[in-house]
Structure 1
């Protein structure tokens, strides 16, 4: 057989972007291309419906390799991230037993959350007994006031066992958390940080300065905000500690970034790529002796902001795609937040599922076998640069205010993030952002009041009697919390309201509007009584009254509403609340007849349901 040297695609003439655009506009039947298909992100830039090679032709970010400065493609030449699980230590012996157990189930990174009174040589020895210290990443979190004591204790413990130079891990010293969570300052943070770095000298692979961008994520920040403020946070460490006499290498190699991961799949993937690139450029400006100091150490944790109490197993879908974003982006380690975190202390089942979500990506999907698979993707490369540009603007704006610490004291960071959270809440209320099972397609008959064990009242004060806030704080109100509060109120009501679908007329329209209305009212936990259709308005009203409905929703076509709505409204009288599904052209005429309730796609679902609750005395 003769060798075929002709390339397949040489048989086809190239198609320009303009030709593609003409074809798309034709398919859109003349609709405006930009208005119909180009969408503006929360980050402030537009996303196009298609990207081509020409879009990345001038990008310098596509020229680097994994492990090479500026590390946009990763700080390593492999993608074997660490699977982390955190343990809240109530009893050191029990925590040790749990750690040993999960280390045999696929975990190779552990986070211990300690109380101050648990820091002692004996307790640390018990906590880490029988753990192969050189093979496991060990991370510790304690109140900032006791971080130095913990570092000293750990250094002595590891040195006594001859593994101090080999052990990997971190101590989460984060003095800025006190301002963000409690509005309390931490005086002389640079002095304390310097002492911590000195105390950790025996442990060269331990990161002891934290950048907790995950806090911003859990508070509802936009992606570019989390990145921009986190970069300013990291720069605060370098600037303040080099001013205190440390070298940039000593500081940069002690910083660990803890990021959150939202459900915006491709943008989160791009965020981590942009984060490494920008951080490398920042550290480079301080002239480190080795480019290795420019490598970002990045841990990622799935978001709590978008977790829900109702239909909680959907949280598994959210955290799975979030984990994929971080894994494909080449982070160093990942924690999957258990799906039941919003309403109870996680149990063995939810923790096992959380572990297995990562193991599935490793052992079955083999995402750890290839480095930076998003490289070369026109969309991902373009997103990386776009997010980097927006984050850089936020970084510069924060620096202009005197740096991250000063911006915190001025309330700038808190104000910006809380405003983004408020935007998310409004978008959820209007269903511009979907939370499956909460504001879209809820489980009609689910109840949740009985399963809620923990109350979201915030963390306890880390300073004893110092409880009065000096500075503004972040709000950690989850995106679903408003709808959950509404639905829980329904559960606690003396009577569960019932909503009757009066379906009549045009078959397609009445079914579509019945489904829309059923989902609409089910978001408040109301009982839904759906119907296939009625021959007459009178028959529908009679059935509604027989069912003792609290709300009657007329579901038909716009053209038929002019006739059906006034008739149904008069027949129903004041025996129930009358609602029209849709926004028909005859709306003003119907309002003149006394009909005031309309639900449609532009309705603020949350506010409307709150109003119905009020009318029903819930």
Structure 2
């Protein structure tokens, strides 16, 4: 007789920890906070907990501790309303679409790169078309080696959307294409270029794809907003408002709302804040499903198809290798959030066109996470974690409020045209810029731990996209620090050496550590620190206790800019 093995006892990970009440935890937390404070300046429990809260752009507060709410909302399941937990159950073998972007204008080089990607783990192709990418007439050649019945193809364009869509349609219409997207997004193009949005091609694009399986016509691409500085709740709100604008237009052209709903795909940014990225994707699906519910779209069709792309705003030109770390965190967040497709931008994107090596690193970032670290083995692995659930609620609530505000003001097209979107983005960016300037929001390798004497990456330049004055221009977080480094480079070109600033060794406690901190600060701007008695172009002034101007909450950008002015570095 076969005896079934005994099932192992459940692991009780917290069994040996004494139970604590919320009040006890607050007292313990206050004791930790007060350890480094003088006797007469101790904080009470409420003040101590408040000091541990952190603030995210967009009005989101992050608590130091999350516990089960007294009356929690039902968690739900993937593939069902409200779709917070995913559009569908995840396939552990193919958890998401590994989508690689190609924007090299050389059609032959792009064709070769596309094939190499597909042979090494990429599952779909993304061609960027237009002035800053591949010519529409070269789309067919770039895809000549692609098995369209196996690999989906999508196109995007800021300035030649109609031509890009037509070029892809010509390729797909003669094949047994499994899926793809023609990339129509007139409001996204208007945001990025400043041109007037033309929604007229949408209805015809949807109609002509009636017998083309899973090929979609429309992509709501909010990267233009995010790269210009939009907060995460605002980006989600802009995605919802743009999607509704397309639904409204298609309905006016006689397109059934269910068919229109099917054709919309969302392309959003994924940042190195992995939990905020996950919350944004979960909130977007929840809100879009609610919109579908109000329009009587059948439940099975309400789940939003999401394509997450590593944020261009977080990428740095200097110490570009750290972009690999940022992309890994962003990909992890996109996986937690249940993205249907993920694109990792090559680490050298800021420097120009990517190389075979940087594309390999980009695709392998996803493949390693999915297949070797097993982050994709569970659908919505963060579901039920109260911190993630609370963050999702906050993003969804804030985004819905902004979405309603846009709708009341006339919709997304009107908000773009009258500058309301740009105004909102500008307000969000100002808050982030202040955090970057004081290094409350540090950038590894740029504003903190800079690499002295770094040689810039040499890449073929990417062609510049012509835009109008009202365009949303990308604003990378590191650009202001890179501008300081450029001033030092220009000085070195003229004088044969970088700007030199004399840094005295102080007669104070931890003098060596303080000097190292000061030297690292100067390196942020590419300034060489020299001994106090050496030849120098400027002097870092000292006080009895430290270096003048150097403080924890100082505006680093303003301080270093003034110091470069003193050395004579060109502005």
TM, length-normalised to structure 2:
0.89
Change (3 A) 1:516 1:155: closer
CA contact (8 A) 1:499 1:553 kept: yes
What secondary structure sits across from 1:544 in the alignment? coil
Residues 221 and 12 (structure 1), Cα distance of their counterparts in 2 relative to 1, 3 Å cut = closer
Instruction: Name the CA shift for 1:101/1:409 in 2 (closer, same or farther; >3 Å).
Output: same
Q: Give matches, 1:81-480, under 5 Å.
A: 81-88=96-103, 90-115=105-130, 119=136, 126-142=141-157, 147=162, 151=165, 154-155=168-169, 157-161=171-175, 163-164=176-177, 167-187=178-198, 189=199, 191-288=200-297, 290-448=298-456, 451=458, 454=461, 458-460=464-466, 469=469, 472-480=470-478
Q: Secondary structure at the match of 1:301?
A: strand
SS of the residue corresponding to residue 70 of structure 1 reads: coil
Q: Aligned pair in 2 of structure 1 residues 393, 146: CA closer, same or farther (>3 Å)?
A: closer
User: Which whole-Å CA distance do the structure 2 matches of 1:87 and 1:296 have between them?
Assistant: 25
Give CA-to-partner distance per residue, 1:401-444, whole Å, 9 cap, x none. Answer: 11111111111111111332233223211112101121112112
Shift of 1:333: 0.7
Give distance in 2, aligned partners of 1:10 and 1:89: 57
CA distance change for structure 1 residues 16 and 132 in 2, over 3 Å: closer, same or farther?
Answer: same
Residue matched to 1:544:
532
Partner of 2:312, secondary structure, is coil
Is this contact kept in 2: 1:180–1:474, CA < 8 A?
yes
Q: Tell me if structure 2 keeps the 8 A contact 1:84–1:335.
A: yes
Shift of residue 399 of structure 1?
0.8
Provide the secondary structure at the position in 2 that maps to 1:298: strand
TM-score by length of 1: 0.82
Residue 142 of structure 1 and its aligned partner are, at CA, apart by 4.2
Tell which structure's C-alpha radius of gyration is larger. Answer: 1
Contact 1:144-1:174 at 8 Å conserved across structures: no
Cα 1:349/1:419, change in 2 over 3 Å: same
> Distance in 2 between the 1:198 and 1:516 partners?
63
> RMSD of the alignment, in Å?
2.7
**Contact in 2 for aligned 1:155/1:202 (Cα 8 Å):** no
Q: Does structure 2 conserve the Cα–Cα contact (< 8 Å) formed by 1:144 and 1:175? A: no
Aligned equivalents of 1:65, 1:328: Cα separation in 2 = 15
How many pairs are equivalent? 544
Summarize the Cα distance change of 1:88–1:270 in structure 2 as closer, same or farther, 3 Å threshold.
Answer: same
Provide structure 1 residue ranges, at least 5 long, that are not aligned to the other structure: 462-467, 530-542, 562-579, 582-596
1:570 is matched with none
Match of residue 485 from structure 1: 483
Q: Alpha-carbon deviation of 1:515?
A: 2.2
Specify the alignment match of 1:18 in structure 2. Answer: 23
Offset at residue 308 of structure 1 (A): 1.2
- CA 1:70/1:552 → structure 2, altered by over 3 Å: closer, same or farther? same
Q: Spell out, residue by residue over 1:332-389, the C-alpha distance to the aligned partner (whole angstroms, 9 max, x if none).
A: 1111011111112111111111111111101211122111100111111111111111
DSSP 3-state at the match of 1:50:
coil
CA distance in 2, matches of 1:159, 1:501: 68
- The 1:405–1:616 alpha-carbon spacing in structure 2 relative to 1, beyond 3 Å, is same
Partner of 1:70: 82
Q: What are the ranges of 5 or more consecutive residues in structure 2 without an aligned counterpart?
A: 1-5, 35-41
Q: Which residue matches 1:608?
A: 559
C-alpha distance in structure 1 between counterparts of 2:220 and 2:11, whole Å: 54
Kindly state the Cα deviation for residue 293 of structure 1 after the two structures are TM-superposed. Answer: 2.3
C-alpha offsets along residues 292-318 of structure 1, whole Å, 9 cap, x if unaligned? 321101001001112111111111111
